[in-house]
Amino acid sequence: MMEQVSGIVRSIIYTNENNGYTVCEIRDGKRVHILVGTMPMLMPGESVVATGEWTRHPDYGPQFAVSQCKRQVPTELEEMERYLASGFIKGLGPSTAKKIVERFGEETFEVLQNDPLRLTEIKGIKPEKALAFGQAFAEHEAMRGVVMLAQRFGLSSLYATKIWKKFGASAETEIQKNPYRLMDSDIGLGFKTCDSIALGLGIDPCSEFRLKSALWYLLGLSALNGHTYCPREELLREAQKLTGAPESLMQNAFDGLLLESAIHVERQHPDRVYTHYLFEAERYCARRLIALRCSIGDSPVRDIRGWLADYENRHRIILDENQKAAVMIALENGVTVITGGPGTGKTTIIKVLIEIFQEHGINVLLCAPTGRAAKRISETSGYEAKTVHRLLEVAYEIGQDDQVCFSRNEENPLDADAIIMDEASMIDIVIMSSLLKALKPGTRLILVGDADQLPSVGPGKVLSDIIESGEIPVVKLDRIFRQSEESMIIVNAHRINRGLEPIFSTDEGDFYFIPRLNAQEAVKTVVELCVSHIPERFGFDFMRDIQVLTPMRKGDTGVHHLNAMLQQRLNPPHENKPEKQAGGVIYRVGDRVMQIRNDYNKVWMQLDRQGNLSDGLGVYNGDTGVIADVDMQNRILTVKYDDQRICEYTFDELDNLEHAYAVTVHKSQGSEFPAVVIPLLKVPPVLVYRNLLYTAITRAKKLVVIVGDPEVLRRMVENSNERERYSGLKERLCAQNRFA
């Protein structure tokens, strides 16, 4: 239950300038309280009214954990003096503060704010110092205004800090002019929150920038859902629903965005609305892919069949004609796609190509869209693979439209004659565009992936559009080599891909189905499988080997509920395991967690097997690890990632993490696990399609257990029509080829 305490700040025990976390002492009459929480720029002498709850620290005793803090500048002369002497004004110490308050009394703050040159009336304060004092005071008061404004609209101090960092002293003015700027990615508020603030400030519901902001928000939401463009009628219809504005005014706002070049509509496709950066990315990809396809020179190997025969002898393997054709086509073309399901020999072809390139002095680089995918192909191929972000060298700055910048580009291309990208189905249009910008003319690009898996999380459907265009050479591998005799996982993956129901194991085997029609029973079964049944029967360790994959986030068999149930059994509370509750979730030492958004500036440390310590920047969406420490005193949570990187998160950054005992199928792309458990019960119709099920089971190397409704499984197998994605790359490739 929330309580309130109030008093005068007597001292600041600790403060973190980056996130505003503060430990302070306040006095209420004769009583003294210790307050802890996010209270940025709090100073001695301020009067505070704090809302929160009492807690007990094991070492420091009772503390009041603050959720909201209302502040007032001091009015008593003694407190004004203490406030000025607290250190927020550089060079203004206790003796100078005393002189200022004695000279100006109750007018002290007005003088500092509006007429700082009057400070020269005090002996020893020169004009330049007086102006510096005034500027520092004004900036501090502006920040206080932002904090007060944020609290007025129910925003946490974390958002106040972000707002201040973005706008500085003009923050309050900028927000008053256009609160929808708080939707920018470096602040991250949603449209409805910004809209509430705007309407609360008295902004006209039909103001043009409100309607433009709604359109822009919906286009961003469309991109988050995987589309590169949004149909015009759909966009305008949804914007009207969101704002309640008349059709004519919404059309005017739309035309305004067009005139500002904030959005793009082509003459030949007036029904398609793009953001400028997605339009440019899609158009660039089409132009560059066709150019690369046409710019290749001669094959580096004259007698390729003879070379392949020698390779087979050296490695004691036999390549089938389709695999040999894939190698030859990749050598003879500037851009090639090699696609196939699990066990069809894609990794073998990657190994062959790398060896050919290395033997003939061709500099080749191997990459994948995510860290997990890069790690997996490194382990299976024996060659180092980098993430695309690492390959392109993230510049750790944000460019226009909040897009990440890379050091490798057209002015500074990669030193490579050939690029092989594995798991190419995961690449989105923006990252593909960035990769193509970093390739020199004549560089071979070989895209390897499974076109039947889920498309990228980001906008576009790059691999399938390239394949369906017919403009880029494609080799489809369809013969199963790996595990076809002893494993039903790969057999069933191909059966599902052909629209056939899987064959389930009974006693011995690696592919099981456990029917459950009741949600509670299904969850109970999933938990017992992970906690005891699979570890006892198959010898798998949950934290290392078993992954629960679910189609959805919400519901009884969604990510949120399953993670809570699995945490309760696999990592229950313990006096030796510190924990922190944030956003209704408990983060405990020993928990399996996942980073859920790219953070290009996150610092990490890494200790290799030889004991050498290195550091770097960048933690990416989908990286998984285990919570190694929760430091309540310094409000720091430490995660040790699977690749041994160690990262620290302030408690205000915990919205970047979520539990990973269970993850969505989409988040599992590019990964492999010894065993997967897949609950299929009450799956929303929008997620009942074949390639989602196919992607889930192909994440497993040794064991698949499906728990749920046989009817849901049947409908997923039969439904080959996944949710439509709006993308124009296929048509652009076809059109571009006509002019090549």
Question: Which residues are paired to 577 by β-bridges?
Answer: 574
38 is annotated as contributing to ligand binding: no
Please give the Cα distance from 195 to 723 (Å, whole number). Answer: 30
The sheet with strand 636-641 has its strands ordered as 613-619, 599-607, 645-650, 636-641, 624-631, 592-595, 657-659
* SS3 of residue 637 by DSSP: strand
177 is annotated as contributing to ligand binding: no
Burial 569-584 (b: 16+ CB within 10 A, else e): ebbeeeeeebbbeeee
344 is annotated as contributing to ligand binding: yes
CA 77 to chain CA mean position, Å: 49
Residue 43 · residue 83 · CB < 8 Å: yes
Residue 462 · residue 227 · CB < 8 Å: no
| Pairs from 550-554 (Cβ < 8 Å, separation ≥ 24) | 550/662, 550/663, 550/664, 550/665, 550/678, 550/679, 551/664, 551/665, 551/680, 551/683, 551/684, 551/687, 551/692, 551/696, 552/664, 552/683, 552/684, 552/687, 553/664
345 is annotated as contributing to ligand binding: yes
Please give the Cα distance from 503 to 36 (Å, whole number). Answer: 58
Candidates 297, 318, 410, 313; CA nearest to 360 is: 297
Q: What residue has token string 């990973």?
A: 660
Residue 483 · residue 341 · CB < 8 Å: no
Q: Quick one: CA torsion of 561, 567, 573, 579, rounded to 10 degrees?
A: -80
Question: Which residues are paired to 448 by β-bridges?
Answer: 338
Please give the Cα distance from 412 to 439 (Å, whole number). Answer: 9
Please give the Cα distance from 172 to 315 (Å, whole number). Answer: 69
Candidates 596, 580, 603; CA nearest to 660 is: 596
DSSP secondary structure string for all residues of 644-698 = SEEEEEEGGGGGGEEE-SEEETGGGTT--EEEEEEEESS--GGG--HHHHHHHHT
Residue 514 · residue 681 · CB < 8 Å: no
DSSP label of 183: G
Please give the Cα distance from 727 to 461 (Å, whole number). Answer: 7
Burial 510-543 (b: 16+ CB within 10 A, else e): bbbbbebeebeebbebbbebbeeebbeeeebebe
616 is annotated as contributing to ligand binding: no
Please give the Cα distance from 549 to 209 (Å, whole number). Answer: 42
Please give the Cα distance from 267 to 335 (Å, whole number). Answer: 30
Residue 685 · residue 571 · CB < 8 Å: no
Roughly what angle, to the nearest 10 degrees, separates helices 519-528 and 559-570? 40
Residue 418 · residue 364 · CB < 8 Å: yes
Can you say whether residue 61 is alpha, beta or left, with left for phi > 0 and alpha for psi between -120 and 50 degrees? left
The sheet with strand 263-264 has its strands ordered as 230-231, 272-275, 263-264
Burial 300-328 (b: 16+ CB within 10 A, else e): bbeebeebbeebeeeeeeebeebbbebbb
Please give the Cα distance from 700 to 511 (Å, whole number). Answer: 10
Can you say whether residue 202 is alpha, beta or left, with left for phi > 0 and alpha for psi between -120 and 50 degrees? left
Point out the annotated binding site: 343-347
Point out the annotated binding site for ATP: 343-347
